[in-house]
């Protein structure tokens, strides 16, 4: 099942912003925080994983 945000390129921007501001958060935490604003889930953990930028050193 796919969330609403994850189907849209704006989902990538949202996930990148959360990951940049909270680099210690897991994909699950980012997903939970985004979905907290809505009655129905709008993004899945798999979509967060897909959109989250790679961490490079």
What residue ranges do the domains of the chain occupy?
11-51
Mean pLDDT of the chain: 80
Q: Distance (Å, rounded) from C-alpha 5 to C-alpha 15?
A: 10
Per the model's pLDDT, the better-predicted residue between 34 and 54 turns out to be 34
Dump pLDDT digits (tens) for 11-31.
788 888 999 999 999 999 999
Task: Give residue 14's pLDDT.
Answer: 86
Interval 47-53 mean pLDDT: 83
Could you tell me the pTM of the whole model?
0.70
């Amino acid at each position: 099942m796919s969330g609403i945000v994850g189907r849209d390129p704006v989902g990538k921007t949202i996930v990148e912003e959360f990951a940049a501001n909270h680099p210690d958060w897991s994909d699950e935490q980012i997903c939970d925080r985004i979905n907290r604003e809505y009655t129905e889930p709008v993004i899945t953990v798999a979509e967060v994983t897909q959109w989250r930028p790679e961490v490079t050193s």
